[in-house]
Structure formats: structure tokens, C-alpha cells
Amino acid sequence: MSYYKHHIFFCLNQRSGGQACCATHDPQAAFDHCKAQVKAEGLAGPGGVRVNKAGCLDRCAGGPVAVVYPEATWYTFVDKADIDEIVEQHLKQGRVVERLLLAPDVGR
């Protein structure tokens, strides 16, 4: 068994020159909200969930993005309600949130 059941990474990367990037969608707020929700649900820590910041995940055109491991499930999101759904459905219950999946062909 791995150290964490789920590990979610939020891209917080900022690109220069007007290029598409996650930072233009305030991913810090989503990261903060997810971290708080995971803690409030008692999911944080070894055997549970780890919430981390990430640099560029190279899927900028779909931003903002987050990825959950070990499943390698890629999500895009709009607001705190989307983050709540990811926490409840995926991180807590182990069910992928189909409506928030990032299309597999979305890249930079």
C-alpha cells in the first residue's frame, strides 16, 4: 500500500506573455479550499489524502487543472463546488467525477 491513498496536485504555474496558464484562473483559492475540505473531512495524512501545489503540468489549455494519483485522473474545475465534488466523490468515495474530467487530448 502506498503512503497516501490519494495525492492531488494543483497546477499553480504562471506563464508570461499572455500564454494560457492555470494561474489566470486563481488555482491558489482552489488549492486552499481543497486542503481545508480534505482536513475537515478527516482525510488528510498518511493512509489518506495529500494536497500539493505543482508547477506546470503541461495541460495549460484546459486550465485550471488538478491531477489525482495513483489513478492519474485529470480534472478541470470552475469553482469551490467543483472542488467539493472532487473531494467528496473521488478522494472520499473513490469515484471519478466524470463531468470534470479533462479531455485526454488537451495539452499546452
Q: What does the alpha-carbon distance between residue 104 and residue 84 come to, in Å, rounded to a whole number? A: 23
- pLDDT tens digits, 52-94: 999 999 999 998 999 999 999 999 999 999 999 999 999 999 9
CA distances for 1 relative to 46, 47, 48, 49, 70, angstroms: 11, 8, 11, 13, 11
Q: Which helix (DSSP H) or strand (DSSP E) does residue 69 occupy?
A: strand 65-69
Is the domain spanning 6-100 CATH 3.30.465.10? The answer is no
Position 33 scores a pLDDT of 98
What was the pLDDT predicted at 1?
64
Q: Model-level pTM greater than 0.85?
A: yes
The three-class DSSP label of residue 65 is strand
Domain boundaries, the chain: 6-100
Q: What is the mean pLDDT of residues 37-51?
A: 97
Q: What are phi and psi of 42, to 5 degrees?
A: 75, 25
DSSP state string for 1-54: --S-SEEEEEE----STT---GGGG-HHHHHHHHHHHHHHTT-BSTTSEEEEEE
Amino acid at 84: D
